[in-house]
């Protein structure tokens, strides 16, 4: 019975605590069987219509996608935040069937013909611009799903799609397992010399969770893992160079050997993607990927990346020379050796401390999570006229750490809700940070207060958890990450589009999706905003102006190196998907090393296996799209430039510009092309000047 399976119950929100792996297979198969009947019925109806309208074809397609997406997205979400062997098995058992149904719908001749007839028929003139854009997108998606293929080619295309889905899931599971499998348990205080108190407390807590009952921050033992809240502080502060080397090597070799080796999967994924593109008539997977993005082609992307490489490479070289000289001036650095990869973070922090008279770790007490959230929500109200209020207990959650919030408009009442899952859980939760939709805004479903169903977002981070009764104190980088993901959530939640196929982040070109997220990061360097998100965990005092000025001055610290690192990833991704031939005898790692010659000033280790944990492109949505971060950063920096020009010190100007940003970038979703959205907000096309200025690279030369 459906009422016994929480994945089949019609409710406002998923009943997370009740969902178990045993529910997955029966629920998904029940839904698929129902939708197969519904799709067949739709096809029969469409075949008898010469001039179908919007309600005849687009609305039924959204309804079918909604009915499958609701339970399947819940399963996929749990794979990221509550992973287990049983859930993996259940997910794998039905993943192929879900992929097959998606292809069945995308390849339907009746549906495709009806969409084409709608575009060329009399009903087209009556559609609004958003509806027309949706129909165009549905036609393109059908073509990318292989609707034009027949016979053996279609069979092969479908087999490729099924295998790619399985390989992507396996890749992600290998990364999670490899990260979880490694740990350094240290028992000598000399081995943790240099670590700040917060890192010691987390390491002791990790040791206790691993069975060391008496572990303490003062006496140890201390457990160091590859999870970023543990890994990053160790690389930045641990004085033992040999231990930093061990940890660094483990990190870049993750999922690169043994049973969890992703190297064979990388070759298969790249070969299958190339075959997929060829079957669809594209010269490369990159060309296929960019056909649905904002960037016009591979050449345009490479032109932007090369422009940014030209202004960042020499700056990064100078930064490395400067860091090498700084380290060599200290007696504890081995004078006979050059600066190594596992030295960079440590000495960069020492140089930051000397130059700006503060350390990243020193900032943590000023940014307890409750205060950061309070200030972030105040900023959202100031900019966009929305109020965020805690609603813990009003919605079921998948872990006790998860919080729930309601978002209300100053005029329209409740407009959205979101979950926040802030802390790292290495045993069951994927690393990194992300925003995903729980449900999207749509007029097809009536919300509890009438009108369209309102959007609900998942905001997921991986910061250090509370330790010994103290709240989670965030690094400044973790603060920026939270602002970034909340920017994604704002676009999902503040949409005014009622068509579910284009509301929020849906139907937004992938290389424009990062605009609102990277835009929000800029407010971490706005003096008023930082005062509102900071309060010392012991005294409650806001961050002193003098310390903020140091943070602001350090904003461009190692900016060339940071930009070059992102370009290294972007160029590697593009090269693998645009020109690499898996049958050429060269490996993906050879390509990585070749790209590194132009995009790194301290080359990766010859044995580096970073690609084996590069989930963004091998298990996420960024294949031939990692450049999107830089493409969208041009847009986001230019968008923030509008606030700077209006005057950050003027509340009226900030409010007016914020409302304009809301009504364009955040409200229009995928109903309008992102270039037009940007131009409506900014009044002109984007330029990279603001990005280079924020990075302190506007005067750099190639």
Catalytic residues: 485
Q: Are 426 and 180 in contact (CB under 8 A)?
A: yes
Please report where in the chains the tokens 């292809």 appear, as a residue: 103
Environment class of 557 (CB within 10 Å of its CB; exposed 0-12, middle 13-18, buried 19+) = middle
What is each CA distance from 350 to 237, 321, 394, 562, in whole angstroms? 9, 15, 46, 17
- Distance CA(488)–CA(78), nearest Å, equals 20
Residue 626, classed as helix, strand or coil, is coil
Q: What token pair was written down for 323?
A: 């860091």
30: Cα separation from own chain's centroid: 31
Q: Exposure string (b/e) for 380-394, b if CB count within 10 Å is 16 or more?
A: bebbbbbebeeeeee
Residue (of 378, 304, 311, 289) closest to 624 by Cα position: 289
Which residues on neighbouring strands pair with residue 421, listed in sequence order? 460
Environment class of 63 (CB within 10 Å of its CB; exposed 0-12, middle 13-18, buried 19+) = middle
- Distance CA(69)–CA(126), nearest Å, equals 29
Please report where in the chains the tokens 């690279």 appear, as a residue: 697
- Distance CA(232)–CA(474), nearest Å, equals 13
For helices 559-578 and 263-279, angle between their N-to-C axes, nearest 10 degrees:
60
Our separate counts of H helices and E strands in the chain read 26, 9
- Distance CA(687)–CA(474), nearest Å, equals 33
Output the CA torsion sign for 23, 28, 29, 33. Answer: positive
For residue 49, the 8-state DSSP code is -
Omega of the bond leading into 202 within 30 degrees of 0 (cis): no
For residue 425, the 8-state DSSP code is -
Name the H helices within 579-669: 588-599, 615-618, 628-646, 651-661
Q: What token pair was written down for 20?
A: 């178990």
């Amino acid at each position: 019975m459906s009422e016994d399976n929480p994945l089949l119950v019609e409710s406002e929100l998923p009943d997370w605590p009740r969902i178990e792996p045993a529910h997955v297979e029966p629920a998904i198969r029940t839904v698929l069987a129902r939708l197969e009947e519904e799709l067949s019925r739709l096809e029969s109806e469409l075949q008898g219509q010469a001039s179908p309208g919007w309600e005849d074809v687009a609305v039924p397609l959204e309804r079918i996608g909604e009915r499958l997406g609701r339970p399947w997205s819940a399963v996929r979400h749990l794979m990221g935040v509550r992973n287990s062997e049983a859930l993996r098995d259940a997910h794998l058992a039905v993943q192929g069937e879900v992929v097959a149904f998606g292809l069945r719908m995308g390849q339907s001749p009746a549906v495709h013909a009806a969409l084409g007839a709608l575009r060329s028929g009399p009903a087209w003139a009556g559609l609004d611009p958003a509806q027309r854009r949706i129909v165009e997108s549905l036609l393109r998606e059908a073509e990318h799903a292989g609707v034009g293929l027949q016979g053996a080619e279609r069979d092969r295309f479908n087999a490729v799609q099924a295998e790619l889905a399985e390989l992507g899931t396996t890749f992600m599971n290998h990364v999670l397992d490899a990260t979880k499998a490694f740990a350094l348990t240290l028992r000598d205080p000399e081995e943790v010399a240099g670590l700040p108190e917060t890192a010691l407390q987390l390491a002791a807590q990790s040791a206790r969770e691993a069975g060391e009952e008496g572990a303490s921050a003062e006496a140890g033992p201390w457990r160091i893992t590859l999870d970023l809240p543990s890994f990053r502080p160790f690389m930045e502060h641990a004085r033992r160079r040999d231990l930093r080397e061990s940890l660094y090597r483990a990190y870049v070799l993750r999922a690169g050997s043994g049973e969890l080796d992703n190297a064979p999967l990388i070759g298969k994924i790249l070969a299958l993607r190339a075959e997929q593109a060829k079957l669809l008539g594209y010269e490369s997977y990159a060309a296929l990927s960019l056909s649905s993005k904002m960037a016009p082609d591979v050449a345009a992307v490479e032109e932007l990346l090369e422009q940014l490489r030209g202004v960042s490479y020499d700056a990064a070289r100078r930064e490395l020379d400067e860091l090498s000289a700084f380290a060599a001036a200290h007696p504890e650095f081995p004078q006979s050796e050059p600066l190594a990869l596992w030295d960079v973070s440590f000495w960069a922090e020492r140089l930051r401390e000397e130059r700006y008279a503060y350390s990243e770790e020193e900032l943590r007490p000023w940014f307890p999570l409750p205060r950061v959230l309070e200030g972030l929500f105040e900023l959202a109200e100031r900019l966009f006229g929305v109020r965020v209020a805690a609603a813990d207990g009003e919605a079921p959650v998948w872990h006790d750490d998860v919080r729930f919030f309601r978002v209300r408009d100053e005029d329209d009442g409740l407009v959205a809700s979101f979950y926040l899952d802030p802390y790292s859980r290495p045993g069951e939760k994927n690393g990194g940070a992300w925003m995903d939709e729980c449900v999207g805004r749509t007029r097809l479903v009536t919300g509890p207060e009438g009108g369209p169903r309102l959007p609900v977002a998942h905001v997921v981070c991986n910061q250090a958890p509370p330790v010994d009764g103290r709240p989670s104190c965030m690094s400044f980088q973790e603060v920026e990450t939270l602002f970034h993901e909340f920017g994604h959530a704002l676009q999902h939640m503040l949409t005014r589009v009622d068509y579910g196929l284009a509301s929020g982040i849906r139907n937004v070109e992938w290389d424009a999706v990062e605009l609102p997220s990277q835009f929000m990061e800029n407010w971490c360097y706005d003096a008023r905003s930082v005062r509102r998100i900071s309060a010392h965990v012991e005294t409650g005092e806001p961050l002193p102006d003098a310390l903020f000025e140091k943070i602001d001055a350090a904003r461009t610290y190692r900016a060339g190196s940071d930009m070059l690192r992102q370009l290294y990833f972007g160029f590697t991704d593009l090269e693998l998907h645009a020109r690499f031939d898996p049958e050429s005898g060269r490996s993906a790692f050879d390509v990585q090393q070749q790209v590194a010659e132009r995009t790194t000033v301290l080359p990766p280790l010859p044995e580096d296996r970073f690609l084996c944990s590069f989930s963004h492109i091998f298990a996420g949505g960024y294949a031939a799209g990692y450049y999107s971060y830089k493409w969208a950063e041009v847009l986001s920096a230019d968008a923030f430039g509008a606030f700077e020009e209006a005057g950050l010190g003027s509340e009226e100007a900030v409010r007016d510009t914020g409302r304009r940003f809301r009504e364009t970038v955040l409200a229009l979703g995928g109903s309008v092309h992102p270039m037009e959205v940007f131009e409506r907000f900014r009044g002109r096309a984007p330029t990279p000047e603001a990005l280079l200025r924020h990075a302190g690279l506007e005067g750099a030369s190639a």
